[in-house]
Amino acid sequence: MEGMSTIVKRVTPLLAGLIFLYGIYIILHGHLTPGGGFAGGAIIAGAFILLILAFGSSALNLKKEVAGSSNTESIALLMVVVLALMALLFGTKVFFFNYLPKGEPGELLSAGVIPLYNIFIGIEVAGAILTIFLALVIFKEESSK
Amino acid sequence: MDALIPLFVAIPLISAFLIVILGKLVKGFHRFLAPLTLLVLLILAVYEFTGLGKISITYAMGGWTSEGGVPVGIYLVLDGFSVLMLCIINLIGLIALFYSLSYITKYTAESNYFALFCLIIAGMNGVVLSGDLFNLFVFLEVSVISSYALVAFGVGKTELEASFKYQVLGGLASMLILLAIGLIYWKTKTLNIADVRNVLDAGYSKPFYLFVQVLLIAGFGLKAAIIPFHAWLPDAHSSAPSPISAMLSGVLIKAVGIYVLIRLFFNMFVFSYEIALVLTSLGAISMVVGSLLAIKQWDLKRLLAYSSISQVGYVVMAFGMGILLLLRGNNEAAAVLAIGGAIYHMINHAVFKGLLFLNAGAIEHRLNTRNLKEMGGLSKAMPVTSTTSFMASMSISGIPPFNGFFSKLIIVIAAINGRFYLLATLAVVVSIITLAYFLKFQRFAFFNKSTGKALDKIKEVPFAMSFSMIFLAVLCLALSLLALPSVRDSILSPAIDVLMQSDLYFTSTLGL
């Protein structure tokens, strides 16, 4: 697939950066405001998808991208399970126990492990959505050959 | 011992993700890790089983226990019934996985296969352990979505069509289940299974809950493939790779279908005559129609798939009879027999249907066909496959001394004791029809004259495959021991008790 016109190619990088930052904001404030790992991850994936649509898939090595995004996704999921399992070692030794200090409610650094879960879930969702999108692109390329 | 319960979900999840990451880098990593995972899980399940006895353990995730008698967190509940299911799931899973080591070599993307296999196990373990309705739904989706992918694993035309059909009907089922869970949450303000029972005991409006129960029967009936909801099963189970067919037919339709249905109807809802009647008649219908549909099949795996519908009918019918007898209240011994027979038949069916699908896989592996008309004379060329499949066929048709005979006998005795003479007759007649179509399978596959294919070129299957088949065949014989009273008391009775004393579940779970 070829990319779109020069105007689009100029504007999307500016937009994508903002969208990416907004996704990070949603993820990091997941324990304070509406949203969280899933919503933020979807927004981050949106930033990548926008760039791919603007510049076209010919600018990418698709197979390599898919391997990368699916590996990122698996590592993030693994980290979530490991974080949950680490709770078996601390405190009351219960699966999914919140073992980090809770802090002040309303502060950015509070709520113990929950921000960490949010971050990894955000990476996971972004990776998964990007993988699905790239798989669809690869399917389109291969079927049009 | 308590701390081990979440590991049933966590271990297969970890190995699934590790396989995805490292499977492509380290050669043979997945072939080593996946069987090891299942072995560890099986040892854990057996360990819990021996230590559990008649008590039940409640595990509050994240340390969120009850607040003023109302549970706030997600509970995992391990009791006699769920630990038995855990043992079956992980045992059949281990055997099917060991068989896959040889079988899967003809497919590409091996590491994905093993990762999905671990996910399916994680989902089923979660469904069986969960004490929370929504958590149960999530684990159910984990296991069925991985099974959609595994059914389509061959990526041929028929596989994709079967998987699509399975996905559409499975999605419909999930929607019905989610709607029912939403309705329950709306009325009772809680999702904890034990707590819902607690709320219902204080009084409820019957028509509303009848509607919810009908939704659940339709939803889980679709997952369990009881007759009016069975359309996806013959396609899906026959197109999947054979070890996966063994998993789907042997364990998945029981863990996410029948187990949940029974758990909810015995331990969550208050019994009602109408629902018990619906369950019994649906079970009887699928028993009869499933076997009649199986007779004229020439595709071996389709024949086995239809026979699954028929055998699942036995289990559902016996559970329905158990509820009817408990409602009648004057014949508790027959109710114990019916419920015990149903659980026993469920275990047996997992073993012999798993074995039959592995046999079908072995034949397909060597002959590349599933059509019975193209087989013949295989008993000399493939002695292990022939012998084990003969044992499984006799077992499923209820010939003594194999396990199927005893479980069917118990169900028939329960039906006669409870004066369900029509159902008892049907159960015997269907057993004879089952014998008919399994003799057809035996004759056309193993004892007929060969149909032109060069027999001398056909060899017995590799070690991993034949060992798995022999192991399950021995199990077919060994499980007959469960009919002995002393063995039954230690293995089946805890599970029967959980279902018989339906208030026990919520009192022990909520710690009342």
What's the rounded Cα separation, in Å, for the pair B126 and B148?
A: 18
Instruction: For residue B510, give how far its alpha carbon lies from the nearest alpha carbon of chain A (Å).
Output: 18
Q: Is the pLDDT of residue B32 over 90?
A: no
Mean pLDDT of chain B: 88
Q: What is the pLDDT of residue B136?
A: 92
The tens digit of pLDDT for each residue in B403-420 reads 989 999 999 999 999 889
Q: Is the pLDDT of residue A1 over 70?
A: no
Task: Tell me the average pLDDT across B159-168.
Answer: 92
Given a contact cutoff of 8 angstroms between Cβ atoms, the answer to whether B96 and B247 are in contact is yes
Task: Tell me the average pLDDT across B323-333.
Answer: 87
The tens digit of pLDDT for each residue in B210-266 reads 999 999 999 999 999 898 888 889 888 888 899 999 999 889 999 998 999 998 998
Task: Tell me the average pLDDT across B276-289.
Answer: 93
CB contact under 8 A, B61 and A95: yes
Q: What is the pLDDT of residue B358?
A: 92
Q: Is the pLDDT of residue B77 over 60?
A: yes
What's the rounded Cα separation, in Å, for the pair B447 and B422?
A: 36
Q: How far is CA B226 from the centre of its chain?
A: 13
Spell out which residues of chain B touch residue A96, defining contact as CB-CB under 8 Å. Answer: 6, 61-62
Quote the domain boundaries for residue A98. Answer: 6-144
Given a contact cutoff of 8 angstroms between Cβ atoms, the answer to whether B18 and B33 are in contact is yes
Confidence band of B455 (pLDDT split at 50, 70, 90): low
The tens digit of pLDDT for each residue in B287-302 reads 999 999 999 888 999 9
Residue with tokens 């009907």: B169
| A4 part of contact set with chain B, CB < 8 Å | no
What's the rounded Cα separation, in Å, for the pair B139 and B245?
A: 20
Q: Residue A87: inside a domain, yes or no?
A: yes
Q: What is the pLDDT of residue B117?
A: 92
Instruction: Tell me how far CA of residue B179 lies from CA of B73, B75, B169, B209, B269, in angstroms.
Output: 21, 21, 15, 13, 16
Higher-pLDDT residue of B377, B165: B165
Q: What percent of chain A has pLDDT over 90?
A: 30
Q: What is the pLDDT of residue B212?
A: 92
Q: Is the pLDDT of residue B114 over 80?
A: yes
Confidence band of B142 (pLDDT split at 50, 70, 90): very high
Residue with tokens 């026990």: B504
Q: Is the pLDDT of residue B314 over 60?
A: yes
CB contact under 8 A, B14 and A78: yes
Given a contact cutoff of 8 angstroms between Cβ atoms, the answer to whether B446 and B379 are in contact is yes
Considering only CA atoms, give the Rg of chain B.
22
Q: What is the pLDDT of residue B1?
A: 53
- Residues 6+ away with beta carbon under 8 Å from B353: B246, B249, B250, B304, B307, B308, B311, B392, B396
Spell out which residues of chain B touch residue A88, defining contact as CB-CB under 8 Å. Answer: 3, 6
Spell out which residues of chain A touch residue B5, defining contact as CB-CB under 8 Å. Answer: 95
> Quick one: which H or E segment has residue B67?
strand B66-67
Task: Tell me the average pLDDT across A26-39.
Answer: 88
Q: What is the pLDDT of residue A41?
A: 92
Q: What is the pLDDT of residue B453?
A: 59
Q: Is the pLDDT of residue B177 over 90?
A: yes
State phi, psi for B352 to the nearest 5 degrees.
Answer: -75, -30
Task: Tell me the average pLDDT across B53-64.
Answer: 80
What's the rounded Cα separation, in Å, for the pair B422 and B414?
A: 12
Q: Residue A68: inside a domain, yes or no?
A: yes
Q: How far is CA B491 from the centre of its chain?
A: 18
Q: What is the pLDDT of residue B454?
A: 58
Question: Per-residue DSSP letters for B157-193?
Answer: HHHHHHHHHHHHHHHHHHHHHHHHHHHHHHHHS--BH
CA atoms within 13 A on the CB side of B395: 28
| Most confident of the ranges A47-61, A106-120, B36-50, B476-490 | B36-50
Quote the domain boundaries for residue B401. Answer: 2-510
Q: Is the pLDDT of residue B66 over 80?
A: no
Q: Is the pLDDT of residue B310 over 90?
A: yes
Query: B398's torsion region: left (phi>0), alpha (psi -120 to 50) or beta?
Result: left
Q: Residue A86: inside a domain, yes or no?
A: yes
What's the rounded Cα separation, in Å, for the pair B411 and B426?
A: 11
Tokens of B263: 């758990």
Q: Quote the number of domains for chain A.
A: 1
Task: Tell me the average pLDDT across A138-142.
Answer: 84
Mean pLDDT of chain A: 86
- Nearest residue to B504 via CA among B18, B167, B54, B11: B54
What is the interface size between A and B, counted as CB pairs within 8 Å?
48
> Quick one: which H or E segment has residue B57?
strand B57-60
Q: What percent of chain B has pLDDT over 90?
A: 45
State phi, psi for A27 to the nearest 5 degrees.
Answer: -65, -50
Tokens of A59: 């600018």
CA atoms within 13 A on the CB side of B269: 28
For B:11-50, CB contacts with A below 8 A are 13-14, 17-18, 20-21, 24
Spell out which residues of chain A touch residue B14, defining contact as CB-CB under 8 Å. Answer: 78, 81-82, 85
Q: Is the pLDDT of residue B188 over 70?
A: yes
Q: What is the pLDDT of residue B217?
A: 93
Higher-pLDDT residue of B320, A3: B320
Given a contact cutoff of 8 angstroms between Cβ atoms, the answer to whether A117 and A37 are in contact is yes
CB contact under 8 A, B60 and A74: no
Sign of CA dihedral B215, B133, B138, B287: negative
CB contact under 8 A, B13 and A77: yes
The ipTM of this complex is 0.86
Q: Residue A98: inside a domain, yes or no?
A: yes
State phi, psi for B490 to the nearest 5 degrees.
Answer: -85, -25
Q: Quote the number of domains for chain B.
A: 1
Q: Which residue of chain B is at minimal alpha-carbon distance from A89?
A: B3
Report the residue from B14, B18, B63 with minimal CB separation from A94.
Answer: B63
Spell out which residues of chain B touch residue A91, defining contact as CB-CB under 8 Å. Answer: 63
Q: Residue A76: inside a domain, yes or no?
A: yes
Q: Residue A1: inside a domain, yes or no?
A: no
CA atoms within 13 A on the CB side of B206: 6
CB contact under 8 A, A96 and B62: yes
Instruction: For residue B497, give how far its alpha carbon lies from the nearest alpha carbon of chain A (Å).
Output: 29
Q: Residue A97: inside a domain, yes or no?
A: yes
Q: Residue A81: inside a domain, yes or no?
A: yes
